[in-house]
Amino acid sequence: MSNWISFDTTGIQPEEGAPVPERIISGNPTFKTWNLEEAAGGLYAGIWEATLGAWMISYDEWEYFRIISGYSIVTEDGGEPVHLRAGDSMILRPGFKGSWQVVETTRKDYVIRL
């Protein structure tokens, strides 16, 4: 077994999902998640994709992500919207509350620490 992995989703079936209905603000967003790493201590890494729509988000975990493609807007409650496009990165800390709006289908890679 190697001590590295690549972010290659070839041949991996994604998990499919959506925001819970009470969190949806607009649209009918759906998710695909390719969880490529699940390590002891609550560390996850992979690729996530969402379709058009907006929903409320609330983080108990720490997440770093980089937008691979698409266009989304993340807004913290009481804050200014942050427009995210390919190449943009962000860290969301535990306690973050706000909204995620997908303007163009968005794909990101991520690392989450519980």
Mean pLDDT over each residue of the chain, to the nearest integer: 97
Which of 13, 45, 23 minimizes the C-alpha distance to 112? 45
Q: Write the pLDDT tens digit of every residue in 64-84.
A: 999 999 999 999 999 999 999
Whole-prediction pTM value?
A: 0.95
Q: Write the pLDDT tens digit of every residue in 28-42.
A: 999 999 999 999 999
> What are the domain boundaries of the chain?
37-113
- Return the percent helix, strand and coil in the chain, to nearest 5: 5, 60, 35
Contact, 47 vs 7, CB < 8 A?
yes
Under CATH, which number does the domain 37-113 receive? 2.60.120.10
The arithmetic mean of pLDDT across residues 15-26, rounded, is 98
pLDDT tier for residue 2 given thresholds of 50, 70 and 90: confident
